Structure 1
Amino acid sequence: MPKLQVNDIDLFYDIKGDGEPLLLIAGFLCDRSYWSLIMPSLVEQYQVIRVDNRGMGRSSAPDIPYSIQQMANDLTALLNYIGIDQVNVVGHSMGGQIAQELVLSDPTRVKSLILLSSLAQGDRKFHQIIETWGDLPGNIDLKLYEKVVFPWIFTDKFYAIPGMVEQLIEWAVNYPFAPARHTLYHHSRAILGSDTKDRLQNIHCPTLILVGREDILTPVKFSQQLAAGIPHAELVVIDSCGHGLLIESPETVVSLMGEFLANFGKCIAGE
């Protein structure tokens, strides 16, 4: 898999498929593998670019403070390196925060924006959760950490599937590129330090916002704030799924993404 030396780190990425470039940005505790369930559908139509954010997967994980803007800058450098002048961008959760900073800092680069389970500004409850998630790795092992985090990610319905959560936890514990403890701390503080609420009106590209109706981590009100602030943004609330909508409802997510991107393409073509 290719890597790029940028901003004092090695940034790992992969590119699959042909067609319009589509950049996928994962969130907290996740690397590029988080998109695996929707990749087969995406690579049939798009040149899909996945990246491990600094600290995650096979990218470097320096034990220094991170910021959302810094991670957006990493992606700008990557796009420059691979020669992508314009790209459709999808970000989940923290990845959506990075995506917002990417379009705000380089607006002509981003053709369209899709924000999944994301936010512009968290409330006190959200900040307390994320602060705790950053502090916990120094006190418990990864398996217990996943057990603490997962109830905020998945719905009761998902937990009711026999063995499903246990299987995911075992996969995470045995994953060969699990994040370092300090990465989770630095990512948590990057999330807490991010706030685009007063700059959303500067995002002018076509934007789709998706959120699970049962998302208790980044609830519907966070996506409503994004939709209210971004001119002409479209908000879709997906029933019967939570924050982990890419795992609980991948078919619905990829269908809505595909419909949005296809309609956007028709508008550009003047159809």
Structure 2
Amino acid sequence: MASDRVRIAYQVRGDGPPLVLLAGQANDHHWWDGVRNDFAGSRSTVTIDYRGTGQSDKPNLPYSIARFADDVVAVLDALSLERVDVYGTSMGGRVAQRLAIGHSRRVRALVLGCTSAGGRHAVDRGDSVRRDLFQPDPVKARQALLELMYSPAWLATHSGPCHVLGDRSMPVHARRGHLVASDEHDAWDALPGIAAPTLVLHGTDDLLAPAANASLLAARIPGSRLEWIQGARHAYFEECRDIAGPLVLEFLDQKVPRT
């Protein structure tokens, strides 16, 4: 139960030190279905259904990245988890930033994937990408999103199911709320205050969250490490799971001393 009495659904799988996995905009925990088992050997993974998605409540109230971060803290409290590692991708990376900024004692280590700082310092995806995504033909809009997520080679050999195209059960007000929340995110001024060891991951061919944002994030967060996934688009974590998953685990398990 969040502080405003909204019920937040969460899922816990596996054994080991806790790793919180945060999904992209307008998605629930199924965003991680394609790769969650990659962490099962050494981690217990915690996912949530953002308010407005999945089994969580879907209030017709203002949505914000800070509110999503507070919801994650409510889940940590419910699980009696004092300090966790956090891996956020896309909008989940924005939520992860807010966690590390506003709830620093709860975040041991941070992984930010295919995301940006937001605000006027972020590199925008451009009008052509927006036109493709918001065109009136839903079939063409879905295909445009698929092509932003995955390379042509991947799409030619993988027929689905696809877990990263959004939660179709969302009501219109919640979908709009997620869009507004993500668009209003601006952590630029606060990023230098992130104390958690941070890994920034990004596909070199990402147009949905242009790759230049990764360099900006890494330069802004003290001591952070930047890794590129060559040739990958927005869903690098799934298409290039054999590279991305080990990078994340190596960073969390070897580069960051446990306390």
**TM-score under structure 1 length normalisation:** 0.85
Amino acid at match of 1:216: L
Tell me the equivalent position of 1:156. Answer: 152
Distance of aligned partners of 1:208 and 1:172 in 2 relative to their CA distance in 1, 3 Å threshold: closer
Q: Secondary structure at the match of 2:249?
A: helix
26-35 or 146-155, larger mean C-alpha shift = 146-155
- Quick one: distance in 2 between partners of 1:189 and 1:130? 17
* CA apart distance, 1:244: 0.8
**Aligned partner (choices 181, 188, 196) of residue 197 of structure 1:** 188
Tell me the equivalent position of 2:179. Answer: 188
**Aligned partner (choices 58, 62, 72) of residue 59 of structure 2:** 62
Corresponding position: 1:252 with 2:251? no
Distance of aligned partners of 1:124 and 1:235 in 2 relative to their CA distance in 1, 3 Å threshold: closer
Corresponding position: 1:126 with 2:125? yes
Amino acid at match of 2:174: T
Q: Secondary structure at the match of 2:10?
A: strand
- Quick one: distance in 1 between partners of 2:183 and 2:223? 27
Structure 2 gaps of 5+ residues are none
- Quick one: distance in 2 between partners of 1:19 and 1:11? 23
Deviations 1:45-94 (A, max 9, x none): 11211111111111112223200000001111111111000000010110
Q: Which runs of 4+ in 1 moved over 6 A?
A: 129-134
Tell me the equivalent position of 1:96. Answer: 93
Distance of aligned partners of 1:191 and 1:83 in 2 relative to their CA distance in 1, 3 Å threshold: same
* CA apart distance, 1:187: 0.8
- Quick one: distance in 1 between partners of 2:23 and 2:56? 13
**Aligned partner (choices 27, 32, 37) of residue 30 of structure 1:** 27
Say what the alpha-carbon RMSD is for the aligned residues: 2.6
Does structure 2 conserve the Cα–Cα contact (< 8 Å) formed by 1:133 and 1:184?
A: no
Does structure 1 conserve the Cα–Cα contact (< 8 Å) formed by 2:236 and 2:244?
A: yes
Q: Percent identity?
A: 27
Tell me the equivalent position of 1:117. Answer: 114
Tell me the equivalent position of 1:232. Answer: 223
Does structure 1 conserve the Cα–Cα contact (< 8 Å) formed by 2:2 and 2:71?
A: no
Structure 1 gaps of 5+ residues are none
Amino acid at match of 2:147: P
Tell me the equivalent position of 1:147. Answer: 143
Deviations 1:184-208 (A, max 9, x none): 2111110111001111100011100
- Quick one: distance in 1 between partners of 2:93 and 2:167? 25
- Quick one: distance in 1 between partners of 2:64 and 2:33? 26
**TM-score under structure 2 length normalisation:** 0.88
7-16 or 68-77, larger mean C-alpha shift = 7-16
Corresponding position: 1:107 with 2:104? yes
Q: How many residues align?
A: 257
